[in-house]
Structure 1
């Protein structure tokens, strides 16, 4: 039987070589783990959804519902988040520090206010549509409304909006026009106001009340007859000489973390696809 022995020098040499191999293996292993971690971080970064926040007037509810999936399909990994309220409420929220990438009010006044405050990138402001006022009644039309003059009939239950909501401002402009017409005048305006039973904080709320039969009539935009209520209400035309045109503009907030995506969203609004969606909701693209 043979015994294998190492002299002290060979033993030290053997241990030194073994230790070097172990260290090499450890270093290689750590290097591999580092690369894997970096790949994982890059992968995680690539799969983390990007949010694009749109503050849009309530009258754009239907339009936004159709635009969101179109934009997201063209931009994988991007989630569009819509805040739908009255233009004045959205303006106030932005002034008070609420984050938004894109602002879509129903009034040029609200956009102008934010431009004056230095909150909007002026070069990004883009006109994209106009809208008009419309009379809407429940499908069964319990008050037998046939035209604008009928809104002054005694007992008609009418829903309107609070003073700061753009559609209410346009309604006031319409009433001012009727004051100058001998067939309407102050008698019509006074009776019209007396029939208002509720003032909603946005136009979508007013449209909803009419669709539910909680009011006999309301004045909204054409666009507020969305797919969800189209079978529940009827639109009655306002005479052209009294109607008011609302201009819609889009703008990118200076604080936007996604300025390029924001511009691309506005580009979608003004594209053929965007115009087609706007027309479906009775907007007139510009």
Structure 2
């Protein structure tokens, strides 16, 4: 190879090297902070009555924490507990009663010192928008009320609270033939909205979310166990640090505003 060809080859090699370096530098410069940092995924199993509030909170949280990807698994607290007991990959459990959280704690499935009671709710009797006007729970025994929807007491906390209330009022034996059991409290709400039942018992937060039902009565709090929503991180969480950060946000003032907007109270 003569000197002239060698010089041209060297110039070509230098030019290619410079081009590669410039491309690499531009790619590096264009990487956003969100993609240059590792993304973290969290799975939150939560009572279905929390779905509207938590959906809004997710948007708020991810706007300032774009690297945390939150996936919700909504359902009846009893069903969610069973999934976790069977090894479902869950980071946070947010239930609608203490019973299911007690079960997980007894099975040693909770991360130590992360359990807390966060929210409260109320139990209400609803009818379809233009349904029967009821001013006393005893009117549920009347012939005009043929079907009453409640959550299945064994797996749906709202149904368990309803059973406790109706039992204390001495109405449970009479009303059992009229009961239509829902798999979760939102299904109970749907039964009432559609007019397939004459009345239903749900949380005040569920009734507030619908313009197709009317709240007729609110149950006195001494007629059932305290309605408390406990929250905890699961011991086998793949991302305990991110889970703790989200739990702290849920317990903070910004999330409290959202929960109150949807009708939840704050646990003391």
Superposed CA offset, 1:6-48 (max 9, x none): xxxxx65555555555554455555555555666777783388
Distance 1:100 1:24, change over 3 A: same
Unpaired segments ≥5 residues, structure 1:
1-10, 179-183
Alignment partner of 1:140 is 2:130:
yes
Separation in 2 of the partners of 1:276 and 1:267? 14
Separation in 1 of the partners of 2:253 and 2:121? 18
**Number of residues of Structure 1 aligned to a counterpart in Structure 2:** 265
TM score, norm. by length of structure 2: 0.83
Matches within 5 A, 1:186-225: 188-196=171-179, 198-225=180-207
Q: Quick check: 1:153–1:191 contact (8 Å CA) kept in 2?
A: no
- The correspondence for 1:250, drawn from 231, 234, 252, is 231
Q: Quick check: 2:129–2:211 contact (8 Å CA) kept in 1?
A: no
Alignment partner of 1:109 is 2:92:
no
TM score, norm. by length of structure 1: 0.78
Matches within 5 A, 1:65-214: 65-142=55-132, 144-156=133-145, 157-162=147-152, 163-178=154-169, 184=170, 188-196=171-179, 198-214=180-196
Q: CA RMSD in A?
A: 2.9
Separation in 2 of the partners of 1:43 and 1:221? 42
Matches within 5 A, 1:233-248: 233-248=214-229
